[in-house]
Amino acid sequence: MKQNAYVAGVGMTPFGNAMDKTLNDLACASIKDALKDAGIPKEELNAAYMGNAAGGVITGQVCVPGQVALRSMGIGKIPVINIENACATSATAFQQACTMVTLGVYDVVLVCGYEKLYHEDKNKTFSVFTGAIDVTQTEAITQRLRARNDAIGQALDMSGAGSSRSIFIDIYATWAREHMHQYGTTREQLAAVSAKNSVHGSLNPKSQFQNVISIEDVLAAREVVAPLTLPMCAPIGDGAAAVIVVSESYARKIGKGRCIRVNASSLHSGWDASENELPMVSGAVAQLYEQAGLGAEDLNCVELHDASAISEIKYYEYLGLCANGAGGEFVASGASSLGGRVPVNTSGGLMRKGHPIGATGAAQIVELVMQLRGEAGARQVGGARVALAENGGGYIGTDAAALVLSILSKE
């Protein structure tokens, strides 16, 4: 929906393996940084939208994770809304917070996404991702994936799905095979996404992986499910990101200088679409651009959900950054690199920054706010004024279960 809200402050922990820290440790660190960045005391908060997806599985903390984290830093009394929405968890928290501010319900709202995925028992971690599909339809999903591969003359071995890898890797491998079959996309173009994001991630001190890898490195790495190698897939991670959302009147009160406007932010769910209906993502993107009064040609930088290399390529096309089927050529040309036409995933993206699923959406907003403020350092996009975040999560039928799209701008 069209929004009238502002981001006044952002904070983020480094992403990576934080088995020595609690969920509360991570959440509180990012919240303190966001409040400090905004110059707003915690007593000014009207409400908090707390996003965590895997705490119940990994740590056993259920029902009140947000209240637990906030109470540990002396925040109580205010409404606390706990949100779980797959990989779109904290993007959903952000969208809901912006909506409540736009409607005039609150003036100052905290958004926090926080997650721990590393665990001694890897099956626990894999079970989080398995739970992001309809668990009563696992066999049906497997059969549909195999049928889609059969249709293009490919065999899909899913014997390790859910045990040695996330089932989503098989979904992404199927997307990659179909895109390669239909459009001639190459493994080198898939690898170019990973290599490009490694350059961006090397410039981000909070990125999980900071080494630069080449296209040749990506192609030579261990194959997970053909054609995807390990660097073409987002890793798990631990971490937290926080955002302070304020009303226009409050932004004027504190001085708009470093505040970033939220032009539009929308939340969508997939459905059982007919053949004549516009696909969910395409319809959602068109709606977002209309609400914001902006288009793909206005974007200066983008953070999108690169859970795999093919995910990034497909979203170039969905977002209108290039023509349908041309995503492979788009990345290979350098158009999505720093210095290119529309730099994408300047943070390093999920593949290099890391993917603590509950924190990912808020972390995208943190990166875009830094870019629009001109505070991104070595990875700064020159003259950035308009930015878009895309964050999807879960998988039901043939669609993402949840999708959040947001457009931010510098006034």
Judge whether 126 and 357 are in contact, CB under 8 Å: no
What is the separation of C-alpha 129 from the centre of its chain, rounded to a whole number of angstroms?
15
pLDDT band at 169 (very low <50, low <70, confident <90, very high): very high
Rounded Cα distance between 55 and 52, Å, is: 6
List the one residue out of 138, 193, 186 whose CA is nearest residue 305.
Answer: 193
In angstroms, what CA-CA distances link 69 with 51, 240, 346?
11, 12, 30
Fold of domain 2-120+236-409: Peroxisomal Thiolase; Chain A, domain 1 (3.40.47)
Alpha helices in 342-388 (DSSP H): 349-353, 360-373
The answer, yes or no, to whether residue 287 has pLDDT greater than 80, is yes
Rounded Cα distance between 93 and 86, Å, is: 12
The answer, yes or no, to whether residue 399 has pLDDT greater than 90, is no
The answer, yes or no, to whether residue 181 has pLDDT greater than 90, is yes
pLDDT of residue 161: 85
- The pLDDT mean for the chain works out to 96
**Average pLDDT rounded to a whole number, residues 301-311:** 98
pLDDT of residue 45: 98
| Catalytic annotation, pick one of 119, 179, 268, 355 | 355
87: annotated active-site residue: yes
Rounded Cα distance between 331 and 232, Å, is: 14
Count other Cβ atoms within 10 Å, centred on residue 385: 15
Residue for token pair 């039901």? 396
The sign one gets for the Cα dihedral 173, 175, 181, 186 is negative
The answer, yes or no, to whether residue 275 has pLDDT greater than 80, is no
pLDDT tens profile 80-114? 999 999 999 999 999 999 999 999 999 999 999 99
Judge whether 299 and 388 are in contact, CB under 8 Å: yes
The sign one gets for the Cα dihedral 152, 157, 161, 166 is negative
pLDDT of residue 162: 78
pLDDT of residue 160: 84
Rounded Cα distance between 114 and 129, Å, is: 16
Judge whether 201 and 352 are in contact, CB under 8 Å: yes
Rounded Cα distance between 171 and 164, Å, is: 15
Contacts of 29 (CB under 8 A, 6+ apart): 11, 13, 240
**Average pLDDT rounded to a whole number, residues 134-151:** 94
Rounded Cα distance between 100 and 347, Å, is: 28
Burial 72-101 (b: 16+ CB within 10 A, else e): eeebeebebebbbbbbbbbbbbbbbbbbbb
The answer, yes or no, to whether residue 146 has pLDDT greater than 80, is yes
List the one residue out of 168, 90, 91 whose CA is nearest residue 127.
Answer: 168
List the one residue out of 8, 12, 5 whose CA is nearest residue 347.
Answer: 12
pLDDT of residue 117: 97
pLDDT of residue 274: 78
355: annotated active-site residue: yes
- Is residue 404 within a helix (H) or strand (E), and if so which, with residue range? strand 402-409
| Catalytic annotation, pick one of 28, 87, 112, 233 | 87
**Average pLDDT rounded to a whole number, residues 207-223:** 98
pLDDT of residue 362: 98
**Average pLDDT rounded to a whole number, residues 386-404:** 94
pLDDT tens profile 315-339? 999 999 999 999 999 999 999 999 9
pLDDT tens profile 22-42? 999 999 999 999 999 999 999
Q: What is the layout of strands, in order, in the sheet containing 2-12?
A: 80-83, 47-51, 108-115, 239-247, 2-12, 260-269, 402-409, 386-393, 301-303
pLDDT of residue 272: 85
List the one residue out of 350, 214, 356, 357 whose CA is nearest residue 367.
Answer: 350
Q: Enumerate the β-bridge partners of residue 243.
A: 10, 111
What is the separation of C-alpha 369 from the centre of its chain, rounded to a whole number of angstroms?
14
pLDDT of residue 277: 80
Rounded Cα distance between 92 and 272, Å, is: 21
pLDDT of residue 232: 98
pLDDT band at 52 (very low <50, low <70, confident <90, very high): very high
pLDDT of residue 398: 81
